Structure 1
Amino acid sequence: MGTTSQNSATSPEGNNEQTDTKLKWWQLSLLGVAFTIGTGYFLGSGLAIQIGGPGVLFCFLLAAIGTYLVFDVLAQMTSRDPLEGSFRSYAKKAFGRWAGFSSGWVYWSSELLIMGSQLTALSLFSKLWFPNLPMWILAIVYAVLGLFIVWLGTKGFERFENVFAMIKVAAIVMFIALAASALMGWLHIGQVQAFPTTVRDYFPHGGLGLWASLLFAFYAFGGIEIMGIMAMRLQEPQQAPKAGKTMLALLTSIYLASLVLAMILVSWKKFNGEQSPFLLALKKFDIPFVPDIFNAILIIAGFSTMTASLFAIIKMLVLLAKDGDAPHFLTVIKLNRPVMAIGLTAAGMACSIVFSMLMPGKIYEYITTAAGLMLLYNWMFILITSGRLLDLTTFGKIKRYAGLLILLGAVSGSLFHSLSRPGFFISLGFVSVIGGLTLFMNARWRSGSLNATSAGNIQAMSTKHQPRGLKAKVKSKANK
């Protein structure tokens, strides 16, 4: 174990439970797969293809590179100085309390809004088997199950996510195997599509269509920040970059292979954001129960990422409360669990379910698109933070700026399509509100009217375990 790792880690639920079992790097890679593969890929890929055409494969590759560049610097910060709260704590260390406050709340609010969308998608998938059950009942069932898994604690959560990860990878491999068998003539599926061979066919909507689809390609990689939060539990934090590289290489390979096969089996023009392209492709196979099996896997995928997000935002909420950036009652522990933080998050989920069911479809889609953009804003801030905390080489600086450029491309691309353009402006509204609150709180902190309950925790921990490679000139600004 590295010299910078802690002897014990606070449980990701935010309680005081001591977690003795550390993760191996391949276990973190497996958890990363569970955190990442979800409705953003199984469902959102259809929308990306609809907007960008077959050339969206380039966007998925670019999104994978951008995701790697973000996790690379996050893993470096983790390996050199493991801190509870990950990117939020590094932002606070680099720029002061205002950065930790805004980063934490932007992440919490965006994930909570996205969860409403995930619950809605899970309910839609379940309607295949329970057509007469109201969607709000199905959403509540999944929400309660997610909260139950969180209540089981760190070990229970990890066991479930490991199983979910294997199921999801097995599902994609199953799809690839079936599609490959069909193309080799072992299975009869009728006529297949010729993959585009000209530039015009490959990019039917031109450069703007490709630019607009980049945002939706990034949705397939959402969840990497949760992997960063879990990275502090590695046996050897120095292996965090290795875990991320392995996970992203696996995901990118199976993403691209499965999308290519899906577009060969079914015309890409039939893909949309309402139905998974993989379910559309599987309907060509005359194999009983295959669509039902894959529908179950879609539910598992969505539920897995929803539970991972729930786990992470409860942890973030407790950490904000511990640092005086959220009401202190959220740190209350009962039955060795942060019951108040879980209760507040459950109430937020209930509101999100109500909004998703009552709001007109387009309006809620705009809000969840905005929430996805807010996640990318946090990714950009991770890259900005790394420039303050890490002694980057010239190549490291080039990678950092390249990552910022790719993320800016995804964000700005949202202005070029009617589905994402309103979400861009709504995301600016959310960020402006949180920014306004940050300015208000910062003024109170400067006036000394609020006491930071643990303002020096991060600085003290970093001083105690000062790692090599962190810039010595960076000092904690937690009291500012």
Structure 2
Amino acid sequence: MSAQPTTTTVAATPGAPGPGESPDDGLKAGLKNRHLSMIAIGGVIGAGLFVGSASGIAATGPGILLSYALVGAMVVFVMRMLGEMAAANPTSGSFSAYADRALGRWAGFSIGWLYWFFWVVVLAVEATAGAVILEGWMPAVPQWAWALIVMVVLTATNLASVSSYGEFEFWFAGIKVVAIAAFVIIGGLAVFGLLPGSDSGAPGLANLTEQGGFLPNGVGSILTGVLMVVFSFMGSEIVTLAAGESEDPRRAVTKATNSVIWRIGVFYLGSIFVVVALLPWDAKSIVKDGSYVAALNTIGIPHAGQIMNVIVLTAVLSCLNSGLYTASRMAFSLGRRGDAPASFARTNARGVPRTAILASVAFGFVAVFFNYIWKDTVFQFLLNSSGAVALFVWLVICLTQLRMRGIILRESPEKLVVRMWLFPYLTWATAGMISFVLVYMLTDDAGRDQVLLSTLVAVIVVAIGAVRDRRRKNAAVAVDA
């Protein structure tokens, strides 16, 4: 039984939420604090951490820890900036809505649509990755059918209510968190010989300095490692979009922002340290089996490969679930600000932006189809043209925060409950770091295509946004005249 849709109003600055309402008119505050806490913790643990770290270790050696630390610091700073703005004004549009106000309508339009594009392409990637694992377990069902099944199930979850999304994500993220925490604890005990029955003995810290030293491929390999690991951090900003539908948005954002340091420290640096300490960086098993499976095998954990497949599948489903949620809420916010079809800004009686969800998943289904039919042409173009978008988003967050600090202080200084450290110097330094990564990607064969094609798409979207903004201003002048 479908409810009659309720049309939301368009407002540049959402007001304070009332009981049972979110700051965005039409959405419901259906996310509990435990949901937000787990979304925040699990948001930094993507499938890329489990499956992408092996290539980084092979290219950089133990020094991959420095690559993860550099990117982790960048993410911490970006999240601090975003937390400052989101705590002052929680909204489902997050950085797109803030860019809209601080930099201009063209900026909010552009970064909002680029971010939506990024996530709907991710839907296809993750649906295919999950289908590969499921087909391995049950080969009687073809891979395309598995991709269809997981997309349909998670679409139904998101359409049910925001609390359904939150509940699924609570358990998906919970499994990831428990798995990584157990890996760090058990692996750490094995590294120092404190784990009974470990087959690896007690390597201690020897593997960090042997086999050519801490940086066997030179200092430059740290930057190569940065390019390989930066995309595994994407998604940490999701909690600021979800906070708009929580019981206490300001508290949720503040808590998530303050905890991002230990989350990255434990889940990324802690788990990668265990891998490079347990195994020589050039061990063939790291590339052959995957870094985490190789480490589990070294410890002597039986069925390590299947255990990791379950964890990776959970991470994939979590990413799919959050990706659909994030894309739909960004589409909702764009519709609410008049930058997308008005139907995107309508919610049903359960506070679900049904049209925004269906539009997002429709593009995701099309991208999945492209992945099976034109994997090396059309889908590869989609993949490359969205590859650097997340870095563009982080850069826009930096530039937006530089302007938003003054706006917040001028209008509601009491709302500045989270402050960026060493403002504005650290904000500019972070923007410089992100810009350097983008430029350095041009020296990498795979990264070059991503930057160039993503920039091409960004230029087209920005041009459309600028034209729309100019027409809107001209229309306003004509009315005033």
TM-score greater than 0.5 by the shorter chain: yes
> Which residue of structure 2 aligns with residue 36 of structure 1?
44
Q: Is the 8 A contact 1:234 1:240 kept in 2?
A: no
The whole-number CA distance in structure 1 between the counterparts of 2:477 and 2:325 is 29
**Is residue 443 of structure 2 the alignment partner of residue 416 of structure 1?**
yes
Change (3 A) 1:7 1:345: same
1:87-102 matched pairs, under 5 angstroms: 87-102=95-110
The whole-number CA distance in structure 1 between the counterparts of 2:462 and 2:118 is 14
Deviations 1:111-154 (A, max 9, x none): 11122111222222324312453321121111112212212211
> Which residue of structure 2 aligns with residue 346 of structure 1?
361
| AA at the equivalent of 1:63 | V
> Which residue of structure 2 aligns with residue 460 of structure 1?
none
**Is residue 18 of structure 2 the alignment partner of residue 7 of structure 1?**
yes
| AA at the equivalent of 2:213 | D
| AA at the equivalent of 2:392 | Y
Change (3 A) 1:358 1:43: same
> Which residue of structure 1 aligns with residue 93 of structure 2?
85
> Which residue of structure 1 aligns with residue 199 of structure 2?
189
Q: Is the 8 A contact 2:91 2:243 kept in 1?
A: no
Change (3 A) 1:434 1:427: same
Question: Shift in Å at residue 264 of structure 1?
Answer: 3.3
Greater CA drift, 256-265 or 101-110: 256-265
1:213-292 matched pairs, under 5 angstroms: 213-232=225-244, 233=246, 235=248, 237=250, 240-269=253-282, 270=284, 276-284=290-298, 286-292=300-306
> Which residue of structure 2 aligns with residue 463 of structure 1?
none
Q: Which runs of 5+ in 1 are unaligned?
A: 452-478
Q: Is the 8 A contact 1:30 1:247 kept in 2?
A: no
Q: How well do the aligned residues superpose, as a CA RMSD in angstroms?
A: 3.2
The whole-number CA distance in structure 1 between the counterparts of 2:20 and 2:230 is 31
Q: Is the 8 A contact 1:172 1:254 kept in 2?
A: yes
1:126-141 matched pairs, under 5 angstroms: 126-141=134-149
Q: Is the 8 A contact 1:211 1:409 kept in 2?
A: no
> Which residue of structure 2 aligns with residue 314 of structure 1?
328
Structure 1 stretches (4+) deviating beyond 6 angstroms?
Answer: 271-274
SS at match of 1:156: helix
Q: Is the 8 A contact 1:192 1:264 kept in 2?
A: no
1:445-464 matched pairs, under 5 angstroms: 445-448=472-475
> Which residue of structure 2 aligns with residue 50 of structure 1?
58
TM-score (norm: length of structure 1): 0.83
> Which residue of structure 2 aligns with residue 467 of structure 1?
none
1:156-167 matched pairs, under 5 angstroms: 156-167=164-175
Percent of aligned pairs sharing the same letter: 24
SS at match of 1:416: coil
The whole-number CA distance in structure 1 between the counterparts of 2:384 and 2:281 is 23
Q: Is the 8 A contact 1:46 1:271 kept in 2?
A: no
Q: Which runs of 5+ in 2 are unaligned?
A: 1-13, 407-418
Deviations 1:84-128 (A, max 9, x none): 411111111112211111111011011111221112222223243
Q: Is the 8 A contact 1:50 1:268 kept in 2?
A: yes
The whole-number CA distance in structure 1 between the counterparts of 2:287 and 2:341 is 39
Change (3 A) 1:18 1:4: closer
SS at match of 2:334: helix
The whole-number CA distance in structure 1 between the counterparts of 2:288 and 2:379 is 14
Change (3 A) 1:234 1:213: farther
Question: Shift in Å at residue 397 of structure 1?
Answer: 0.9
Q: Is the 8 A contact 1:22 1:235 kept in 2?
A: no
The whole-number CA distance in structure 2 between the counterparts of 1:117 and 1:55 is 29
The whole-number CA distance in structure 2 between the counterparts of 1:200 and 1:286 is 26
Change (3 A) 1:176 1:333: closer
Q: Is the 8 A contact 2:44 2:263 kept in 1?
A: no
Q: Is the 8 A contact 1:43 1:273 kept in 2?
A: no
Question: Shift in Å at residue 236 of structure 1?
Answer: 6.1
The whole-number CA distance in structure 2 between the counterparts of 1:361 and 1:132 is 26
The whole-number CA distance in structure 1 between the counterparts of 2:31 and 2:190 is 43
> Which residue of structure 2 aligns with residue 466 of structure 1?
none
The whole-number CA distance in structure 2 between the counterparts of 1:443 and 1:84 is 25
> Which residue of structure 2 aligns with residue 358 of structure 1?
373
Determine which of 55, 68, 72 is the counterpart of 1:60. 68
> Which residue of structure 2 aligns with residue 395 of structure 1?
422
The whole-number CA distance in structure 1 between the counterparts of 2:462 and 2:446 is 26
| AA at the equivalent of 1:230 | A
SS at match of 2:388: helix
Change (3 A) 1:374 1:419: same
The whole-number CA distance in structure 1 between the counterparts of 2:420 and 2:363 is 43
Question: Shift in Å at residue 202 of structure 1?
Answer: 2.3
**Is residue 340 of structure 2 the alignment partner of residue 326 of structure 1?**
yes
> Which residue of structure 2 aligns with residue 16 of structure 1?
26
Question: Shift in Å at residue 229 of structure 1?
Answer: 1.2
